[in-house]
Structure 1
Amino acid sequence: MNLFKRDREPSRRSIEDVDLDSLLGLVAESLGYSCVFAADGSSLTLSGDREILVRLTGLRREVGRRPRDDWPMLVSEHLANALAAADERLDVCDLDQVKPLLRTRVEAVDEVADLTRVVGRHLNGDLVELLTVGSRPVRPEEAGCWPVPSGRALELAVTNVGRDERLELEAIELSGTPVWRLTGRTPAAATHLRWLGDYLPIPADGVLVVLPDPYTLIVHPVDGIGVVRALERLRVHAVRTDGLSPQVYWWHEGRLTLIRADIVLQDGLARLVVAPPPEFAKVLARLAV
């Protein structure tokens, strides 16, 4: 059965290309479309109740990195999302078209079903900064079509976040400990850590940070031994909000580092057991003098 045709057969094609094209044709047919491939294999046109151009450069790169068992899922997702995006007249594989829509969002690692199916970077061991378009993460096969690396695309998204809004800053207290709360309208508050110095004075030793939800930052300056009490108050608050992360972090020199602090029950009383990273332990030792 002839599932699809090509404008022109290239002189040399790999077995992987042939197998992928066959799979694309089968999935397209199951969706009610026939397909015609571009001569260079960089795209195909779905024909049915409408015509839709589907770019394939990123998909071909992605399947080259994945086992064959993953190919049906990758192809099905790629074509299904191309059809869904056609209703919105949006081609995520076209960087010029989506560049103004790129944003970032921070998520807990455990909340991301499959890190191989999103584009992003680790902020630390338990938080990732995802590249998004609209309200959804960008997939590797979409970013693979762009003429820039993913890291550059993330920086474009960060720039867009900075242009979108300025967070609202207010002074509040957590059980008597003064802190700053920064809130925004979009789920990219953590991205604004890069510009925290534009909102409030940042000590040389940085600040403590909790992320109760994607729209909020709560920070306390590391400027005295009172930071130990602040660490306890922030940890308890983060646990109670049950939001983006229950942990406390240290923002210093452009890095977000986890401060391991566990709340334990001993003789019926709750107390905080802190295991700070070595660099932060040195800061605490210096502040205690």
Structure 2
Amino acid sequence: MPAANERVTELFCTAAELRGYQTQVTATNEVSVTGPTGTTVLHLGNLLRRVLAAPENDWPALVADHLGTFLAQAEIDNSDPLDAFDFTAVRALLRTRLYGDNFSNHVPSVRRTLTSGLDQLVVLDGVHTIHPVTYPQLATWPIDEHELFVLAENNTHADGPVQVERAEFTDNAPPWYLLAGEDYTSAHARWLDDYPVIGTAGALFSIPAERSLYAAPIEDLTILQAATILAQVTTNHYDHDPAPISQHLFHWYNGYIEPAVHIDHSGTGLHLYPTDDFQLVLNQLGR
């Protein structure tokens, strides 16, 4: 991994310098880019994950494409910055996404905690990038924080459902499903009852990364087998996919989301630890 980090960083700096920008490596997977509009610090973690999933011959093209997207958005922001838009202009661009509670983009983003380990942010859907809405922005709009979340959720929900597919793992595995979409898949964890993934006791689900959500209906104690499967799938995608969110499992029931299973894969193998509340659910299923 360190060699890959260095290679991707080197490719990125070379591509930027060929376009006339100055670069400086400021930390692992972090590059400062200076050009006509100022200096921006870019985090290359998501780029690294995309690159590692591709053949090495494709790395330069992927890096160049990533840089091109950044420069295109910078040009748009400089000529018509979202911060300068009035609320009427941006209200249709508002969306919601979920992030791990350790996510930080170094700005005062409008966010609320859904449950331990998951935060919901309001974002602006830009042409090439997604901008978290900040509290200074919100202070200039004729809307309060609660109304902002309602509007952003309604916009996201109105975009339509994500794709849902029953997964095949082993012949005797209990049913579980993949929900996949584009940049706002995580938001659909709020609306799992839109999909055929809800059992009598709700659903066990995970959001390892932005574009994938896994869920299994909870009907009986076969959910323990499903939990093992979801843990394996979740940790793999959390480790390797762009925009990672959480490596743990959650319980959806009647619109509420709670932590369900803490997953530890820091050592050898996977270790699953149900929360006290989810253990009560399992005890009820066993009666």
**What TM-score comes out, normalization by structure 1 length?**
0.63
> Aligned pair in 2 of structure 1 residues 201, 127: CA closer, same or farther (>3 Å)?
closer
Question: What is the Cα deviation at residue 236 of structure 1?
Answer: 1.8
User: Is the CA contact 2:206–2:213 (under 8 Å) kept in the aligned structure 1?
Assistant: yes
> For the aligned residues, what is the CA RMSD?
2.8
Find 1:208's aligned residue among 204, 209, 225.
204
User: Is the CA contact 1:172–1:181 (under 8 Å) kept in the aligned structure 2?
Assistant: yes
> CA deviation digits over 1:105-131, x for unaligned, max 9?
1111223144x6101111222221111
User: Is the CA contact 2:206–2:214 (under 8 Å) kept in the aligned structure 1?
Assistant: yes
Find 1:190's aligned residue among 177, 186, 190.
186
Distance in 1 of aligned mates of 2:255 and 2:206:
16
Counterparts of 1:10-49 in structure 2, within 5 Å, are none
Distance in 2 of aligned mates of 1:265 and 1:212:
16
Find 2:279's aligned residue among 258, 278, 281.
281
Q: Which residue of 2 aligns with 1:229?
A: 225
Q: How many percent of aligned residue pairs carry the same amino acid?
A: 25
Distance in 2 of aligned mates of 1:265 and 1:167:
32
Larger Rg over CA atoms: 1
> Aligned pair in 2 of structure 1 residues 119, 104: CA closer, same or farther (>3 Å)?
same
SS at match of 1:105: strand
> Aligned pair in 2 of structure 1 residues 174, 247: CA closer, same or farther (>3 Å)?
farther
Q: Does 1:106 align with 2:98?
A: yes
Distance in 2 of aligned mates of 1:102 and 1:263:
35
Distance in 1 of aligned mates of 2:248 and 2:197:
23
Distance in 2 of aligned mates of 1:258 and 1:192:
17
User: Is the CA contact 1:93–1:143 (under 8 Å) kept in the aligned structure 2?
Assistant: no
User: Is the CA contact 2:176–2:197 (under 8 Å) kept in the aligned structure 1?
Assistant: no
Question: What is the Cα deviation at residue 198 of structure 1?
Answer: 2.3
Question: What is the Cα deviation at residue 86 of structure 1?
Answer: 6.0
Amino acid of the structure 2 residue aligned with 1:119? V
Distance in 2 of aligned mates of 1:199 and 1:123:
20
Amino acid of the structure 2 residue aligned with 1:247? H
Distance in 1 of aligned mates of 2:225 and 2:252:
17
> CA deviation digits over 1:102-158, x for unaligned, max 9?
0111111223144x6101111222221111112110111001111111121111111
Amino acid of the structure 2 residue aligned with 1:107? Y
Distance in 2 of aligned mates of 1:193 and 1:271:
24
Amino acid of the structure 1 residue aligned with 2:104? V
Q: Which residue of 1 aligns with 2:145?
A: 150
Distance in 1 of aligned mates of 2:249 and 2:206:
5
Question: What is the Cα deviation at residue 93 of structure 1?
Answer: 5.7
User: Is the CA contact 1:93–1:145 (under 8 Å) kept in the aligned structure 2?
Assistant: no
Amino acid of the structure 2 residue aligned with 1:104? T
Question: What is the Cα deviation at residue 169 of structure 1?
Answer: 1.1
Where structure 1 has 5 or more consecutive residues not aligned to the other structure, the ranges are 1-30, 32-82
Amino acid of the structure 1 residue aligned with 2:120? E
Q: Which residue of 2 aligns with 1:127?
A: 118
Residues paired across the two proteins, number: 205
User: Is the CA contact 2:113–2:120 (under 8 Å) kept in the aligned structure 1?
Assistant: yes
